[in-house]
Amino acid sequence: MASTYITTTIPYVNARPHLGHALEYVQADALARFYRGAGERVRLQAGTDDNALKNVLAAQAAGLGVREFVAAFAAAFTGLAGPLSLSVDDTIRTSSDPRHRPGVERLWRACAARGDLYRRHYEGLYCVGCEQFYPEGELAAGRCPEHGTVPDLVSEENWFFRLSRYAPQLRALIAGGTIRIDPPARRNEVLALIDGGLADFSVSRSAERARGWGIPVPGDPGQVIYVWWDALANYLTALDYASGGENRRRWWNDAHRRVHLLGKGVLRFHAVYWPAILLSAGEKVPTDIAVHGYLTENGRKISKSSGATVDPYDLVAEYGTDAVRWWLLRDVPKGADADFTEGRLVSRANDELANGFGNLVNRVVALICRYRAGRVPVTSASAPDAAALETAIADAPALVATALADFDFRPATEAVWAIAHEANRYVSRTRPWDLAKAGADADLDAVLALLLRACQALGALLAPFLPDAAERITRQCTPGATGELPRPAPLLPRITRSRRELCTI
């Protein structure tokens, strides 16, 4: 049986999660649910990066102990699994999970044994927001391109990783598709980065500068392991890398896919540093690196510091899980940035969930209840004028599979939506109530049977995207012990825009 390992990035926890985190979680969850539904073994892995220096700084600013501070915010991230209906199999917290530190140390020792770690004096410009040194040439007018802040000048003795040694091998793996970076524009970006020359990079900090937080370098307690090394290692440490157990074999070494989902801002770490560390340690590299863009809200950059962002918890409380997931999967273009507004979310939910899926299933079940006493017609007659709807039903599974293999959620959801769209048109065109009036029983049986099949297909195909709604649809379209369909009940109600947003416009 094929095994698929899917990871989300582990966010640093200096504030509450925003909608961009929800996007990555929901994308990863849809993939995990899809592959599980296809009969694969799947592990969806999430976690939090507790050891970042910016967590320490945020805790100090809040006047709290680092440990209690990161625990509180980590809970806000892992807690999203409930409201977003995420099927996360495991969550790792890098500061407290007993699997993590020994795994990080083991990875360090494996690279050291290969001769890839060495000490050297270093001076550079460091952005705490990014937790990375920037060469002058990559700064924008002296400022971090990601944060717009002036980096700190840092001068200290650090451990370095011999990244330069792995440039040719890395290039070949990426260009040859062994490591697939998607979308292709991101792969080209990484290839250009490699072609520009890969310098060895610093993989430790003085324990003093790290405020004593983080994992000490094995055998050199005056140094703390670079937080990106520590964070990237979670993809292995969560698989009991240190103890070398069954999880490591099943989900890494023998996995059919090792998929990392991530935002464009952390591409270099995942597509260059991480595979190089794995090569050095003698481990397999990821098969897929799927990169998403950033969300803005009402045209403004989502920023933890501005406090102007929509909290995903509030959004779900206001509009429900299905509406939030549907917007994230249906409206955000692959690999690109997208602008969120509550108006867009509400329009999508009303047009497609309430008026599309919900209304269709209700109409069909109501028709079967009225004309066939709730019993699914058994018929060998073919339904009249059914080509477009039959095609939509027949084509959707392959279209969804192809789109998801490509990490492209819009065409995947579009293929499912097409069934509802065609089925609603089919109801209007065939007018089952007229068939009933005219006594055209054979046609009516065939029309109702086809429409119910369309609704059942929706229940099955929506499961990765809208697990809650899909379950309600399937229940509504499945005859009970009496052989009758349950009485039609509202599945996806219309929603109205919150007063909160109306006031801010």
Query: Residue numbers of the site for Zn ion (CB under 5 A)?
Result: 127, 129-130, 144, 146-147
Contact 26, 325 (CB under 8 A): yes
Please report, as a single letter, which amino acid is at residue 198: L
54 is catalytic: no
Say which of 54, 100, 144, 334 is annotated catalytic: 144
User: Taking the alpha carbons of 326, 184, 168, 155 in that order, is the dihedral positive or negative?
Assistant: negative
Say which of 21, 54, 260, 334 is annotated catalytic: 21
Residue 393 has phi, psi (to 5 degrees) of -65, -45
Nearer Cβ to Zn ion (133/327): 133
Say which of 54, 100, 111, 127 is annotated catalytic: 127
Whole-number Å distance between alpha carbons of 271 and 191: 10
Nearer Cβ to Zn ion (100/205): 205
Say which of 147, 264, 284, 421 is annotated catalytic: 147
Smallest gap from Cβ 184 to Zn ion, in A, equals 26
Nearer Cβ to Zn ion (41/147): 147
Whole-number Å distance between alpha carbons of 477 and 192: 52
Contact 435, 8 (CB under 8 A): no
Nearer Cβ to Zn ion (129/377): 129
Whole-number Å distance between alpha carbons of 61 and 141: 28
Smallest gap from Cβ 126 to Zn ion, in A, equals 9
Smallest gap from Cβ 125 to Zn ion, in A, equals 10
Smallest gap from Cβ 229 to Zn ion, in A, equals 18
**Which tokens is 405 given?**
């293999």
Nearer Cβ to Zn ion (130/419): 130
Whole-number Å distance between alpha carbons of 236 and 101: 11
130 is catalytic: yes
From the list 428, 438, 441, the residue with the least C-alpha distance to 385 is 428
- What strands, in cross-sheet order, belong to the sheet with 117-127? 132-134, 117-127, 152-161, 201-202
Contact 104, 230 (CB under 8 A): yes
Number of residues that make up the chain = 505
Smallest gap from Cβ 143 to Zn ion, in A, equals 9
Whole-number Å distance between alpha carbons of 103 and 431: 64
Say which of 54, 100, 111, 130 is annotated catalytic: 130
Query: In 10 A of CB 428, how many CB atoms?
Result: 7
Whole-number Å distance between alpha carbons of 285 and 264: 19
127 is catalytic: yes
Smallest gap from Cβ 130 to Zn ion, in A, equals 3
Nearer Cβ to Zn ion (146/331): 146
284 is catalytic: no
Say which of 264, 284, 304, 421 is annotated catalytic: 304
477 is catalytic: no
* Residues with catalytic function: 18, 21, 127, 130, 144, 147, 301, 304
